[in-house]
Amino acid sequence: MRCAARIVETEAYTGPDDEASHAHRRVGRTARNDAMFGPPGTAYVYRIYGVHWCLNLVTGAPSFPAAVLLRAAEPVLGTEAMRARRRLGVADRELLRGPGNLARALAVDGALNRHDLAAPPLWLAAADAPVSDDQIAVGPRVGISRAVEAPLRFWVRGNAFVSGAAGARPHIFHIPTPPDHAR
DNA sequence: ACTCCGATTGTT
DNA sequence: ACAATCGGAGTA
């Protein structure tokens, strides 16, 4: 069954200087975070709490460990297939809400670590309706214990599919519009 | 070798 | 408030 979803919430892990990143300097390159050092556009999938999988999009140049954690998405296609992977009776808005749930619903596991996200069985595509900058809210990341204040969580303002994970403070502000020459 | 704990979730 | 569940990371 083919599924599709629209990403509505992410977190950025920006590189060796990011205290909260699995690939922070103090850690270096390890077996777990190695995929973060791979080429941009590939997947970094890791297990958390020995229980859940989390899906990241690798975003840095090769050997520079940066990634974006996908925290929530809005089901577009194949809703029933997603529900079957979760639990029967789960509401649509819970289907892809939270990084562990999102991975579960999309059948993401460790086998997809390093996967090229331009190819089946899992790939990114341009959204039908692009999200303009002023629709995007920014705030602190969820569930981390270092660099707690850094405003690196991004979500679609007011979107019903965004996760409400404990610890997510509603400190919201606009992304500054970049100057034209930076576009 | 051994302890600690996490980019979470669901139940009590 | 807490269990599930396990391997990476830090310490020795």
Per-residue pLDDT tens over the stretch A130-149: 899 999 999 999 999 999 99
If residue A123 lies in a helix (H) or strand (E), which one and from where to where? strand A122-123
Residues 6 or more apart from A40 whose CB is under 8 A from it? A58, A59, A60, A61, A62
Describe the strand order of the beta sheet including A43-48 as a list of residue ranges.
A43-48, A52-58, A67-77, A4-13, A153-156, A136-139, A173-174
- Give CA torsion, residues A157, A97, A5, A160, to 10 deg: -40
If residue A104 lies in a helix (H) or strand (E), which one and from where to where? helix A99-105
Please report, rounded to whole angstroms, the spatial distance between the CA atom of protein residue A86 and the C1' atom of nucleotide B12.
21
pLDDT tens sequence for chain A (183 residues): 789 999 999 999 999 999 999 999 999 999 899 999 999 999 999 999 999 999 999 999 999 999 999 999 999 999 999 999 998 889 999 999 999 999 999 999 999 999 999 999 999 999 888 899 999 999 999 999 999 999 999 999 999 999 865 334 444 443 333 333 333
Please report, rounded to whole angstroms, the spatial distance between the CA atom of protein residue A22 and the C1' atom of nucleotide B12.
32
C-alpha–C-alpha distance, residues A104 and A95, integer Å:
9
Those residues whose beta carbons lie under 7 A from strand B are A 11, 13, 20-23, 33, 36, 44, 48-52, 54, 56, 67, 69, 86-87, 94, 97-102, 141-145, 163, 165-166
Cβ atoms < 10 Å from Cβ of A181 = 5
pTM of the model: 0.90
Subset of residues 22-81 in chain A with CB less than 7 angstroms from any atom in strand C: 22, 26-27, 30-33, 47, 49-51
**Protein CB footprint (7 Å) on chain B nucleotides:** 6-10
Output b/e per residue, A37-58; b: 16+ Cβ within 10 A.
bbeeebbbbbeeeeeebbbbbb
C-alpha–C-alpha distance, residues A91 and A129, integer Å:
24
- Answer for the pair A12, A133: CB distance below 8 angstroms, yes or no: no
Nucleotide nearest to A49 (CA to C1'): B6
Cβ atoms < 10 Å from Cβ of A112 = 21
Residue A160 tokens read as: 């019903």
